[in-house]
């Protein structure tokens, strides 16, 4: 779990105070810097000016055009090791992509080899350097989860480990205020889908249920009950993301995630929108959730892309199916221990063809 959590409008202003006791001596020139990995969207935004730089601290604007790849993580960690030897901490500021990059780079500052070697469950053996997550979009739960999702040479799979969670997170709903409506919806639905998949999964327990129910209720208030968007929506969705992430931390996601990983691996479809494309077609698995999802799509006037797999070759369908079936815990959570008997390649192919 995340060690320290701070929540509230304007809490970003406390970042300097939060980092000060974590600054360490060491590195090539005596002081090990803090390195801020910031979503490139903020390069020319006022937020970049508010980052509390000291000494040799550095801001790296990270490219999140594509979701994080193992090669990019290795490159970032390699450059930092070369420039500084060691750093005091890595602070990720942005959506799920920038936060995941920060988690992975922190781990690769201390673990040998390539981040691709650690895609899986509990393969990371060393704690990373101190790491802080500061979300600017709400929904992924990456701020609390024990994974960082990476696309590697052969698979799209996270570095799931006890060393992956942030040491500190700063939840400031003001930072999400200017997110584009569509993006905010897709990322918000990631949270909604986490809740449904967790609450309807076979891994469910009271811990996951307690958080999942609260997150679901907050999502419903924001997307079903409220008219329009205001500060209260940002406040609620940030806590929904947190609670939704806590819910899956002790259970798992399900069919939508397992299928959308394949889509993203082959077509580069982003996580939030990919989950929406898939969830839209999952009535047979999550009838109530999908019915409510369709209502939210309509009420919020969002377009969900259709026919994205039209015209793909057998080889391409097989590539997606292969990636999806690697996600064994997700399928087991969704369908139970005997999932391999019911989720055949043919059935999965038919599902991909519907998207």
Where on the chain is the footprint of ligand NAD (CB under 6 A)?
39, 41, 64, 67-68, 94-98, 100, 136-137, 140-142, 145, 147-149, 176, 178-180, 183, 187, 190, 270-272
Q: Which residue is nearest to Fe ion (CB)?
A: 190
Strands 4-7 and 168-171: parallel
Taking CA atoms, 230 is separated from 18, 185, 192, 250, 295, in Å, by: 28, 14, 19, 31, 20
Least Å distance, CB 279 to ligand NAD, is 14
What's the longest Cα–Cα distance across the chain?
60
Of ligand NAD, Fe ion, none, which one does residue 272 interact with (CB within 5 to 8 Å by kind)? Answer: ligand NAD
Nearer to ligand NAD, 137 or 196 (CB): 137
Tell me the C-alpha distance between 192 and 34, whole Å.
Answer: 34
Query: Tokens in use for 48?
Result: 């970049």
Taking CA atoms, 51 is separated from 21, 38, 58, 60, 267, in Å, by: 17, 10, 10, 12, 35
Nearer to Fe ion, 190 or 234 (CB): 190
Least Å distance, CB 319 to ligand NAD, is 18
Nearer to ligand NAD, 178 or 353 (CB): 178
Least Å distance, CB 142 to ligand NAD, is 4
Report how far apart the first and last C-alpha atoms of the chain are (Å, whole number).
35
Least Å distance, CB 103 to ligand NAD, is 7
SS3 content of the chain, % helix, strand, coil (to 5): 50, 15, 35
Of ligand NAD, Fe ion, none, which one does residue 147 interact with (CB within 5 to 8 Å by kind)? Answer: ligand NAD
Nearer to ligand NAD, 89 or 94 (CB): 94
Least Å distance, CB 202 to Fe ion, is 19
Cβ contact 279:334 at 8 Å: no
Least Å distance, CB 139 to Fe ion, is 8
Q: What is the contact surface with Fe ion in residues (CB under 5 A)?
A: 190
Q: How many CB atoms lie within 10 A of CB 41?
A: 20
DSSP 8-state symbol, 174: G
Nearer to ligand NAD, 38 or 80 (CB): 38
């Amino acid at each position: 779990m995340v060690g320290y959590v701070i929540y509230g409008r304007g809490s970003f202003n406390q970042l300097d105070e939060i980092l000060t006791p974590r600054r360490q001596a060491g590195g090539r020139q005596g002081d090990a810097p803090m390195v801020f990995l910031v979503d490139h969207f903020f390069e020319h935004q006022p937020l970049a000016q508010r980052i509390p730089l000291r000494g040799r601290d550095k801001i790296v604007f990270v490219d999140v055009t594509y979701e994080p790849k193992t090669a990019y993580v290795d490159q970032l960690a390699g450059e930092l090791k070369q420039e500084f030897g060691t750093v005091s901490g890595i602070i990720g500021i942005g959506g799920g992509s920038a936060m995941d990059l920060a988690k992975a780079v922190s781990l690769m500052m201390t673990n040998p080899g390539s981040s691709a070697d650690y895609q899986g469950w509990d393969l990371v053996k060393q704690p990373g350097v101190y790491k802080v997550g500061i979300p600017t979009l709400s929904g992924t739960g990456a701020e609390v989860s024990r994974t960082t999702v990476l696309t590697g040479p052969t698979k799209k799979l996270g570095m799931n480990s006890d060393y992956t969670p942030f040491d500190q997170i700063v939840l400031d709903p003001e930072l999400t205020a200017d997110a584009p409506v569509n993006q905010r919806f897709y990322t918000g639905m990631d949270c909604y889908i986490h809740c449904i998949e967790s609450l309807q999964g076979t891994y469910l327990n009271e811990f996951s249920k307690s958080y999942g129910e609260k997150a679901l209720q907050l999502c419903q208030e924001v997307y079903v009950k409220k008219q329009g968007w205001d500060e209260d929506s940002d406040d609620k969705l940030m806590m929904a993301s947190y609670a939704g992430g806590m819910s899956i931390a002790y259970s798992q996601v399900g069919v939508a995630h397992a299928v959308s990983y394949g889509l993203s691996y082959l077509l580069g479809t982003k996580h939030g929108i990919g989950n929406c494309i898939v969830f839209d077609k999952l009535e047979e698995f999550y009838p109530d959730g999908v019915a409510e999802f369709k209502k939210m799509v309509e009420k919020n006037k969002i377009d969900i892309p259709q026919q994205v797999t039209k015209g793909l070759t057998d080889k391409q369908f097989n590539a997606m199916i292969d990636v999806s079936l690697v996600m064994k815990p997700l399928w087991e959570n969704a369908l139970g221990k005997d999932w391999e008997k019911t989720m055949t390649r043919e059935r999965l192919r038919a599902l991909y063809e519907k998207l």
